Amino acid sequence: MNRFWYSALLYLLSPLLISYLAVRAIKSRDYRSRWSERFGWHKVQPTDVLFHTASMGETQAAIPLIQSIIDTYPEHRVTITTTSPTGSALVNKAFGDKVQHCYLPMDFACATQRFVNRLSPKLVVILETELWPNLLHYSQKQGAKVILANARLSESSFAKYQKYPALTEPMLKSLDYIGVQTEAEQQRFIQLGVEATKTEVTGSLKFDLKISDAILEEGKKQRAQWQRDASPIWVAASVHPGEFDAVLEAHQQLLKTHPSALLIMVPRHPEQFDTAAKRIEAHQLTIARRSQQDAVTASTQVLLGDTMGEMLKFFACGDQAFIGGSFIEHGGQNPLEAAAMGLAVLMGASRYNFTDICQMLTSVNSMISVDSSSALAQSLIENINQPSELSKRQQAAKDCVAANRGALLKHQAIIKARL
């Protein structure tokens, strides 16, 4: 399959894509507006640098990098695109009117060409693996340099790319440079036809997360306010619907031995907040909803984190964290924020999205693998009952993150060399 047939296939599938957006709009009000941006009809001003950060995770990791470019080149106009409302909200919160922001249009040839022509970027920086054939084609045709930053390429993605060389090889060769997270992933890009001289192992930007003393202090104050200074608190972060019951069952087991324990459960997607609340109630657990500012009292068993942008605050209150997307076949969510905050980390078997990071955390004994709700409960209880071992895991997690920082400086150098 080449780009022509790829574009033709997208047009044939357009009713399904529009239906998908419509379904998301029904489930979440954040998808009900700004449809013109999805098809490249909105007005945009010409820009110097375009950053595409897809969803919230990529956006969070890219914020320090984008801010450093804004600070270094204040005369350059910066545009940031995302594909999710959560990523969009984070861009607005982090940068306000300092940047131009919109959704990246779906990769229909006419929409992408129209968007790129209006934007006329000099440099395009794409985070991780958000590679869209038409976006890369028209950016290169427009004369822009294109960098893939913080790049990842899992074995499964590598296998998929190998199936369609007529489409993927021209796309990858159109990249001017790739800052890739690991040596293994660098070799995969090279095997797909990327020149070795166009790649560099930079590590992950997500290791360069800065944790302020204010957030840590706020976490301590919050625990005191909840009268939970000496009580176990664990966070189930970015959990998906297929994991709600397993997490709640684990907490019920934990409560049998530690009745004052508190679970902070944070669903991955906003449209699942109400579903999560219903599952908590179905398990007959006492709930407080963060969005409703419910008081957390001595009788509260679950705090539902049904707000956006507060994950670090929740981690600051906790001792241990289960990372979602790992009990279902989803590949796992990013465990680094929890590790950077000094929490012992637990994950299920599905974590191919962050294989190398998980291996690093496991190798220093800061991450525990669990394969069921009972295994999760057992590990939580063992950590609580062995405070010295828990403390070692927590410190090892922080040390691992600190030892692997440096990707930010490498990416700054890559971008500055092309500006």
Q: Where in the sequence numbering do the catalytic residues fall?
A: 58
Task: State the Cα angle at 279 between 255 and 384, rounded to 5°.
Answer: 25
- Beta pairing partners, 151: 180
- Tokens for 106? 């779906």
For residues 111 and 98, give the distance between their C-alpha atoms in angstroms, rounded to a whole number.
Answer: 25
331 closest CA partner among 362, 352, 304: 352
3-state helix, strand, coil in the chain (%, to 5): 55, 15, 30
Q: Identity (one letter) of the amino acid at 96?
A: G
Tell me the C-alpha to C-alpha distance, in Å, between residue 201 and each of 149, 183, 198, 293, 410.
10, 6, 11, 44, 9
- Terminal alpha carbon distance of the chain: 34
Whether residue 121 contacts residue 147, with contact meaning beta carbons closer than 8 Å, is answered with no
Residue with tokens 């500006």: 419
**DSSP secondary structure of 272-303:** GHHHHHHHHHHTT--EEEGGGT----TT--EE
Contact, 335 vs 344, CB < 8 A? Answer: no
Phi, psi torsion values for 340, nearest 5 degrees: -65, -30
Place of tokens 């204040």: 74
Residue with tokens 């399959």: 1
